Amino acid sequence: MTVYSVYEPSSPPSGEGDAEALLRADRVAFVKEGIAWLALFAPILWLIYHRMWLELLAFLVLFLSLPMLFGSDPSGKEIAGWATLGLTILFAFEANDLRAWALRRRGFNFAGTASGRDRVEAETRFFSRWLPEQALSQTAIPAVMPVPPKSAAIVPTRPFGGDEVIGSFPRS
C-alpha cells in the first residue's frame, strides 16, 4: 500500500460549478511518502522534472563544492566520493519531503492523504471523496444561521414537583 500526501492550489482557477472543481482537480499534486527512487539514480533530472529550481541550485552548489572541500589528493577524492554517495542517498530519502515543501512555498495547501496499491487507485479513492466535498462547498451557505426559538433554548434548572434535590441528595 502506497501512501500519498495530496496538495491543492490555494487560488482557484476561474470557472463555474463543476468546471471549476474539475480545473482544480487537474492541478492537485500527489506526493508519495517514502524514498524517491528516481531521485536516487538521477537526482538532477528528478529536480528538473518537478521544477524545483531553488533546490536544484542548492544541490549543485553542495555537490560541486565537495571536491573543493576535501581537496584534490587521492584520499580527499575518495572521501568526497563517499560523501557524494551518502548525500545522494540522503537526498533520495528526503526528496519527496522537499517536493512537499516546494509545493507549500508555491501556495499549495495540504488537502489530505490518499492510499492505494498504486497511484491510480490512490487518486480514485481521493477524488471520490474530494469532488463531492467541492460540490458542497460551492453551494450557498447563509451568512447568518437562524437562531432557534427561545423556548427551545431554555433548559429547566429546577426539577418538577416535589423532587427537590440538593447536590446528589434529595431533600427530605
pLDDT digits (tens, 9 = 90+) for 112-154: 899 999 989 998 898 888 877 776 655 555 556 666 666 555 5
pLDDT at 152: 54
For the stretch 50-96, pLDDT in tens is 999 999 999 999 999 988 898 888 999 999 999 999 999 999 999 99
- In the block, residue with C-alpha cell 433554548: 153
Measured CA to CA, the distance from residue 3 to residue 1 in angstroms comes to 7
pTM, entire model: 0.68
Domain that holds residue 33: 2-170
Mean pLDDT, to the nearest integer, of 4-15? 78
Q: How many domains does the chain have?
A: 1
pLDDT at 115: 92
- Among candidate residues 105, 103, 109, the one with its CA nearest the CA of residue 11: 109
* Other residues' Cβ atoms within 10 Å of the Cβ of residue 104: 13
